[in-house]
Amino acid sequence: MKALVTGATGQLGTDVVNILRSKGHDVLACDRNELDITDQTQCQDVVSQYRPDVVIHCAAYTAVDLAETDIDGAYKVNAVGTRNIAVAAESIGAKLIYISTDYVFDGTSKEPYQEYDNTNPQSIYGKSKRAGEVLVQSLSSKYFIVRTSWVYGIHGNNFVKTMLRLGQDKPSLRVVHDQKGSPTYTVDLANFLLELMQTEKYGVYHASNSGACTWYEFTQAIFEEARSLGINIIAQPEPCTTVEFPRPAHRPANSVMEHLSIRGNGFQDLRPWRAGLTDFLQQWSVIEIK
C-alpha cells in the first residue's frame, strides 16, 4: 500500500514510517518542512500528487500545558490542520487514520472508558483534539480514529526517558499516584496501525498497551526494569497527589480505556504495558551504551 504519514519525524511517526517500510509499503514521510498541515492548499497538492491509499495523521500540537495559553495555536494544528488533511484524503478516496488521545475524556469515571462513551475534555489540548475527531467524522467516509494514552518511544521526549535521566541523577523523586492510565509503547501502537490500515473496519478505536498503573507505579516499573539491565538508578520514587504537583492543564484522574473495538473487530489486543516497557528499555540501553 501507499501511505502518507504526517508528523513523520515525531515520536510515533518515526516508528510508523520505519515499520511500514520494513513491511514493504511505499511511504511518503512528511514532517512540517515537507507538509504544513495548516496550509490547506499545500495539503491538497501533496496528497493529490502522491495519491496514497491511506493517510496516517500523526502530526499534532501536543504541548499540553502550553496549549492552555496558546489556544489559537492548538486549534490551528489539531482542528484546522486535521480538517485540511481529512478534506485532502477524502478528495482522492484515501483512508484516514487520526491519532487522538485519552484527554478527550474528563477522567472522572470509575470504569475504563469505552469508545462510544460521551467525551468531556477539560483541557485546551483535549478540546482541540476532540475538535479534530469531530471534523474527521464529518468530512471523511473512510476513517479510523485511534485514541491512545501515555505514549513513549525511542524517538523524542517522553516520561520514561525523563524518569531514566532523573533516576540516575537524583536520590528521590515525587511522582503522582492518583492518576491512572495505560502506558503505550510506540512500536506496539505502530504495529496495530499497520494491521488496521489494511482493513475496512472503520470507526473509533482505543489502542494502548493492556493493563493499567499510576504514574508512580509506572516509575517503579521503569526503575526496576532499568536496574535489571545494569542501569545505575539511584532514585527512590515517592508517591504524591495531583494537588501536590500542580500543572497548568487538567490531567484526567482516570485515563484507562476499554478496547471494545479491537476485540469486536477481531484484532489481537496490544500486549501488557510492562512487556512493552521491557522491550523499550532493552533497546534504549543499547543505544545509550553506544
The reported pLDDT for the residue numbered 75 is: 98
The string of DSSP letters for the chain reads: -EEEEESTTSHHHHHHHHHHHHTT-EEEEE-TTT--TT-HHHHHHHHHHH--SEEEE------TTGGGT-HHHHHIIIIIIHHHHHHHHHHTT-EEEEEEEGGGS-S--SSPBPTTSPP---SHHHHHHHHHHHHHHHH-SSEEEEEE-SEE-SSS--HHHHHHHHHTT-SEEEEE-S-EE--EEHHHHHHHHHHHHTS---EEEE---BS-EEHHHHHHHHHHHHHHTT-----EEEEE-TTTS--SS---SB--B--HHHHHTTPPPPPBHHHHHHHHHHHHHHHHH-
The reported pLDDT for the residue numbered 46 is: 97
What are the residues whose beta carbons fall under 8 Å from the beta carbon of 94, sequence distance 6 or more? 4, 47, 51, 52, 53, 54, 55, 142
Angle CA(73)–CA(74)–CA(79) in degrees, nearest 5?
110
In whole angstroms, what is the distance from residue 78 CA to residue 186 CA? Answer: 20
pLDDT tens readout for residues 6-49: 999 999 999 999 999 999 999 999 999 999 999 999 999 999 99
Per-residue pLDDT at 286 exceeds 90: no
Catalytic: 125?
yes
Place of cell 471534523: 135
**Share of residues in the chain with pLDDT > 70 (%):** 99
pLDDT tens readout for residues 235-247: 999 999 999 988 8
Per-residue pLDDT at 102 exceeds 90: yes
Mean pLDDT of the chain: 96
The reported pLDDT for the residue numbered 139 is: 98
Question: Beta-carbon neighbour count of residue 168 at 10 Å?
Answer: 14
The reported pLDDT for the residue numbered 289 is: 55
Domains of the chain, by residue range, sit at 2-158+182-211+256-271
**Share of residues in the chain with pLDDT > 90 (%):** 95
User: Considering the domain 2-158+182-211+256-271, what is its CATH architecture?
Assistant: 3-Layer(aba) Sandwich (3.40)
> Which residue in the list 103, 125, 152, 185 is annotated as catalytic?
125
| For residues 200-218, average pLDDT | 98
pLDDT tens readout for residues 134-189: 999 999 999 999 999 999 999 989 999 999 999 999 888 999 999 999 999 999 99
Cell of 125: 489540548
The reported pLDDT for the residue numbered 290 is: 46
